[in-house]
Amino acid sequence: MNEYNSTNHCKYSIKYHLVWCPKFRFEVLNGDIALSLKDIIINICNRYNYKILELEVMPDHIHIFVSARPTVAPTDIVRTIKSISAIKLFKEHPKLKIFYDRCGSLWSKGYFVDTVGNANIETIRNYIKNQNLK
């Protein structure tokens, strides 16, 4: 987990903990739907070069711990996964589409994001404060 990734001009370690829910937080992510959703998310992340560090589908929300390039905003990760997964889930599970027909969408608009780093806040603050002392 302490590994760094590289591009031509950048070395980075960017990790996000993302959480979002189905509309109205209905408990619809069960059984075959949950299994399909995991596969769909894994495929999306592979396609867009997001590295999944951990993924769990709960009946009423999703947790994903993901690493991405510094040029990719967390909102883009969420938007990409939500939009593609909804389309594919509705195609694979027509009953889910019928259930959400009145709403027009599977996912709620909001999401939670937290950055996760290798160093804690105090370590970084002290490092920056002590730069002029060297």
Looking only at the bridges linking them, the beta strands covering 112-116 and 61-67 are unpaired
Q: 3-state DSSP call for residue 125?
A: helix
Instruction: Mark whether 48 is an active-site residue.
Output: no
Q: Which of 4, 48, 111, 127 is catalytic?
A: 127
- Going by C-alpha positions, the residue among 33, 3, 117 that lies closest to residue 41 is 33
- Phi and psi for 39 in degrees, rounded to 5? -60, -45
Cβ atoms of 20 and 107 within 8 Å: the answer is yes
Active site residues: 127
